[in-house]
Amino acid sequence: MKSLNCALKIAVIGCGNIAQAFHLPILKYQNQVKVLWLVDTNSSNLKKAALWHPSSNQTTSLKDIEGVDAVLIATPPGFHYEHVKFALNRGLHVFVEKPLAINYKQAQELVRLAREKGLNLCVNLNRRFLPHIKILRNLIANKPFGPVKDIKVFDGGRWTDVSGGGITYHSSSHLIGGGVLLETGSHMLDLGFFLLPPITSVNSVEYYDDSATKIEAECRFSLGLATEDHTAVTLPGFFL
């Protein structure tokens, strides 16, 4: 990665809600990062993004990007594999919103590609850094009540928001690539594994959802795990 003694030049790919609410405002005040390109197929998103970064180049095509060191990808999950692979093949470091991809095979391919090219590939699982998560992780590690044997993860809610007056991408199996397991589940499953000691094996998996439309609105699961300290842990959860 380039030394931060000079500005890291980046392209923001996907300038929708998450970029407008978090990434673009934060990047505006990072003196060591310069947003050189804004990329989105939605002209309204580009216009809103430019309010934060008026001097940035704007484009609707990834192929126009040049002169950058890294990309921040905040497109819908169904595009992550395509966009991350494009950036890595261009020799660019990648910071991508969760999930990395919509299935294990795609994710493994992207990880291998990043390693082969010696590039950083980072997934935004920011809930790990919340203050209460840090406290809870230290508490579990110090075992004042003994080893954890059961950790439950529950989250979710009805999605009603839309971007620019249109239909939210959550209702499109092509754009989202799945349902709550990819969305809420990406964060909460990560937290479950992050809070526990390193997992050595997954011994059982039970999973149920209502994905008749290929977009699960609810899912329930239970994982039987073993940790490196030889503790059997159950990880049940429910997302909606």
Which CATH number covers residue 203? 3.30.360.10
pLDDT at 38: 98
- Let me know whether 180 and 227 are in one domain: yes
220 with 240: CB under 8 angstroms?
no
Split into its structural domains, the chain has a count of 2
**95 and 188 housed in the same domain:** no
> Do 23 and 113 have their domain in common?
yes
Q: Are residues 227 and 174 in the same domain?
A: yes
Confirm whether 132 is domain-assigned: no
Tell me which of 124, 158, 183 is where a domain ends: 124
Determine the pLDDT at residue 161.
Answer: 52
Q: Are 23 and 116 within one domain?
A: yes
216: helix, strand or coil: coil
- Residue 187 included in any domain: yes
Residue 99 DSSP label: P
CA–CA separation, 47 vs 58, rounded Å?
9
Sequence-separated contacts (24+) of 135-139 with Cβ below 8 Å? 136/195, 137/194, 137/195
Q: What are the residues facing 157 on neighbouring strands? A: none
What pLDDT score does 220 carry?
A: 94
Residues 74 and 159 in one domain: no
Whether 1 maps to a domain, the answer reads: no
In a domain? residue 96: yes
Residue 49 confidence (pLDDT): 97
By residue range, what is the domain housing residue 103?
A: 8-124
Spell out, as residue ranges, where the chain has pLDDT lower than 70: 1-6, 157-174, 213
Q: Write down the residue that tokens 């090219």 correspond to.
A: 117
12 membership: H or E segment, kind and range: strand 8-13
pLDDT digits (tens, 9 = 90+) for 136-157: 999 999 999 899 999 999 987 6
**CATH number, domain with residue 87:** 3.40.50.720
Q: Are 110 and 100 in contact (CB under 8 A)?
A: yes
How high is the pLDDT of residue 175?
73
pTM of the model: 0.88
Q: Does 74 reside within a domain?
A: yes
Q: Quick one: 113 and 158 in the same domain?
A: no
